[in-house]
Amino acid sequence: MTTAVITGAGSGLGRKIAILNHTRYDNLVLIGRNSEKLNETGRICIARGTARVFCLACDLTDENQIRQTAKWITSQLGTVDLLVNNAGLGYFENLLDQSFEQIDRTFATDLTGMIKFTRLMLPLMVDHVGKAADIINIASIAGKIATAKTTTYASAKFGVVGFSNALRLEMQSRNIHVHTINPGPMDTNFFSIADPSGKYLKGVQQFVIDSDQVAELAIKSVNENLREINVPRVMGFGAILYTLFPTMGDLIVNSPLINRK
Ligand SMILES: NC(=O)c1ccc[n+]([C@@H]2O[C@H](COP(=O)([O-])OP(=O)(O)OC[C@H]3O[C@@H](n4cnc5c(N)ncnc54)[C@H](OP(=O)(O)O)[C@@H]3O)[C@@H](O)[C@H]2O)c1
């Protein structure tokens, strides 16, 4: 029996990844806060042939819920072959306008909750006999290039990239492959929280990526054991240039041409 665990599976990219994986694993474990949205993803997967779907309501900002969810997976399923850390949110506002609640929620969901959940999944993944297990961490291009109005979100996503890089090294000898996916703006509900005004999304309309494409790339990262995928590629290339030429990078990313927030 093989098992894939996907966080944030009730919508957007997480749902797309679950659907694309519908016959690759015997068990799909779908995690998020909203049971109705998870059940809808589950119904789609079952209709397409997934053997077993488990929808587990869990708020990743709540340590007790993380522990309970991990306990259930441990006792009921025992091993995990794929963990997709996808749940996340952000608020695109100047730091001067952010509340402590927004700061805490962003870090607890995107970074610390994800790290704690991974910590509890690792014992179910290490040293699988005969085959590797995989972890896909969904970070962001904001974890490679910080722009104005992403202080908290970019900090959390830079953290996800750093976490992935360190975990990849730790797990090299334990037969777990760690993959990082860094998408640019995607066509999901993310912006209903990040930018309720719609201004940013309107400004970057021509760069918005199809979340189906990102889901396919996430699966490709497992099939081809790729360490990191930046999409669109031009943004990944931009991140390399920014590292090499940071002063010029600041000018470029803060110009109205690039920063539409
Ligand atoms: N859309 C973009 O432009 C973009 C770009 C780069 C990276 N990303 C990243 O891609 C990932 C997926 O986002 P998306 O674009 O697909 O947006 P989305 O549709 O809003 O999905 C985010 C998911 O995270 C879940 N979630 C939020 N808070 C949670 C919590 N406390 N505990 C458990 N689950 C929680 C939500 O489910 P519930 O509401 O049911 O909890 C939701 O299903 C995120 O990590 C995001 O940062 C998005």
Is the distance from the beta carbon of residue 8 to the nearest atom of ligand 1 less than 6 Å?
A: yes
Is the distance from the beta carbon of residue 17 to the nearest atom of ligand 1 less than 6 Å?
A: no
The preferred substitution site among 186, 202, 204 for testing ligand 1, maximizing ligand atoms within 8 Å of CB, is 186
pLDDT in tens, 198-220: 988 888 888 899 999 999 999 99
CATH fold label, 3-253: Rossmann fold (3.40.50)
The pLDDT of residue 219 is 97
Which residues of the chain fall below pLDDT 50? none
The pLDDT of residue 60 is 98
What's the 252 CA to ligand 1 centre distance in angstroms? 28
The pLDDT of residue 144 is 97
The pLDDT of residue 258 is 73
- Distance between CA atoms of 35 and 38, rounded to whole angstroms? 5
The preferred substitution site among 60, 92, 190 for testing ligand 1, maximizing ligand atoms within 8 Å of CB, is 190
- Active-site residue flag, 153: yes
The residue among 200, 104, 99 whose CA lies nearest residue 147 is: 200
The residue among 159, 154, 166 whose CA lies nearest residue 227 is: 166
Is the distance from the beta carbon of residue 22 to the nearest atom of ligand 1 less than 6 Å?
A: no
